[in-house]
């Protein structure tokens, strides 16, 4: 089993004490977002958890508690963009805080296990292609030697964020211009020793030197664990997504980063309501099990098949 921690919220930033408490207890609960009365109980024993994929924009709390997860193989997707607080209002300063944290985390766990995400990329009168090129180059220069891979994607206009996108005057680039822009990012990344991958993009960027990537990446997990992964493509993700199947442990409407492009938060009021229910010792993240809930133990198993042959 591979754990996703989490596409829905920034657990390493805001809820890592909860996650570590669940590791100690050996299980956690996840509410089904499509059926509010269904709750799954997930076994967290090292025998069945093959790898953990963390997603964060600020791993400070996680970095203080890495010893708690030392029994588990894991890697970190670290989003670091050139946006200001008009787009990402809940984050510390990139130049003075987050770049240093990326470098420190890389020194702690190794550059292979820290993946830089410059995504999602949105274009508007402030964040023009030229702005992104300059920001991407500046960050890449600071992260040279601290990561081997950068992931890019372009903002999708989900119904939940269309109002935000309209307020930001977000626009799409013509395909020809988008391909040229992507090629320029790939060239910058290569100069700094990084490969560029796209995340769930329908557009083919092979000519730009950008391959379709996988955030839950079977090949990387095999490198980290030394075992052959038998997991299949995750059918719960978009058609363009290359991720293998994993179990998501997060909860929607709980991320306090406040990013304007985020599809996982419906409103600030919803986030305040859910975050207000946070109990680091509860089995469920930002919520309680109700009397009419149906709690089911989910059948999980290791997806590693022996050792890789050389």
Give residue 94's Cα distance to chain centre. Answer: 18
For 226-243, what is each residue's pLDDT tens digit?
Answer: 999 998 887 777 666 778
Q: Is the pLDDT of residue 209 over 60?
A: yes
Tell me what the mean pLDDT of segment 117-144 comes to.
Answer: 97
pLDDT of residue 81: 98
Q: Is the pLDDT of residue 159 over 70?
A: no
Which residues, in sequence order, are bridge partners of residue 54?
A: 5, 76
pLDDT of residue 160: 65
In this structure, are strands 228-229 and 195-198 parallel, antiparallel, or unpaired? Answer: unpaired
Instruction: Please state the φ and ψ torsions of residue 182, each to the nearest 5 degrees.
Output: -60, -40
Which residues, in sequence order, are bridge partners of residue 284?
A: 29
Tell me what the mean pLDDT of segment 2-19 comes to.
Answer: 97
Query: Regarding predicted confidence, which is higher, 247 or 161?
Result: 247
Whole-number Å distance between alpha carbons of 76 and 5: 9
Whole-number Å distance between alpha carbons of 228 and 262: 34
For 254-278, what is each residue's pLDDT tens digit?
Answer: 999 999 999 899 889 999 999 999 9
Per-residue tokens: 212: 């379709």
DSSP per-residue letters across the chain: -EEEE-SSS-HHHHSHHHHHHHHHHTEEEEE-TTSTTEEEEEE--TTT--EEEEEES--HHHHTTGGGGTTS-EEEEEE--S--TTT-TTSPPIIIIIHHHHHHHHHHH-GGGEEEEEEEE-B-SSS-HHHHHHHHHHHHHHHBTTBSEEEEEE----GGGHHHHHHTT-BPPPHHHHHHHHHHHHHHHHHTT-EEEESS-SS--GGGT-EE--SS-HHHHHHHHSSEE-PPB-TTS-TT--PBP-EE---SS---S--TT-SS-S-HHHHHHHHTT--TTSSBTTS---TT-EEEEPP----EES----
Tell me what the mean pLDDT of segment 108-135 comes to.
Answer: 97
DSSP per-residue letters across 30-51: EE-TTSTTEEEEEE--TTT--E
For 275-287, what is each residue's pLDDT tens digit?
Answer: 999 999 999 999 9
pLDDT of residue 155: 84
Query: Regarding predicted confidence, which is higher, 173 or 55?
Result: 55
Q: Is the pLDDT of residue 310 over 60?
A: no
Is residue 188 within 8 A of residue 202, CB to CB? The reply is: no
């Amino acid at each position: 089993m591979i754990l996703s921690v989490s596409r829905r919220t920034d657990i390493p930033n805001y809820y890592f004490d909860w996650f570590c408490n669940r590791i100690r207890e050996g299980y956690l609960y996840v509410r089904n977002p499509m059926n509010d009365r269904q709750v799954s109980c997930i076994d967290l024993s090292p025998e069945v958890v093959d790898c953990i994929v963390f997603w964060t924009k600020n791993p400070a709390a996680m970095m203080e508690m890495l010893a708690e997860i030392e029994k588990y193989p894991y890697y970190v997707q670290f989003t670091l963009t050139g946006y200001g607080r008009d787009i990402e209002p809940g984050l510390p300063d990139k130049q003075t805080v987050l770049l240093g944290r990326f470098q420190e985390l890389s020194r702690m766990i190794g550059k292979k296990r820290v993946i830089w995400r410059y995504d999602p990329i949105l274009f508007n009168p402030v964040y023009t292609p030229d702005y992104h090129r300059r920001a991407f180059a500046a960050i890449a220069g600071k992260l040279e030697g601290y990561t081997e891979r950068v992931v890019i994607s372009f903002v999708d206009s989900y119904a939940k964020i269309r109002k935000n996108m309209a307020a930001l005057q977000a626009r799409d680039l013509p395909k020809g211009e988008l391909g040229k822009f992507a090629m320029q990012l790939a060239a910058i990344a290569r100069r700094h020793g990084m490969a560029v991958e796209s995340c769930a993009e329908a557009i083919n960027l092979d000519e730009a030197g950008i391959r379709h990537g996988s955030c839950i990446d079977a090949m990387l997990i095999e490198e980290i664990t030394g075992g052959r992964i038998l997991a299949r493509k995750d059918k719960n993700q978009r058609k363009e997504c290359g991720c293998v199947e994993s179990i998501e442990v997060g909860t929607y409407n709980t991320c306090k980063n406040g990013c304007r492009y985020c599809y996982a938060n419906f409103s600030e009021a919803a986030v305040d309501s859910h975050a207000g229910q946070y109990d680091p010792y509860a089995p469920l993240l930002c919520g309680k099990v109700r009397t009419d809930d149906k709690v089911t133990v989910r059948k999980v198993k290791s997806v590693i098949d022996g050792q890789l042959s050389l």
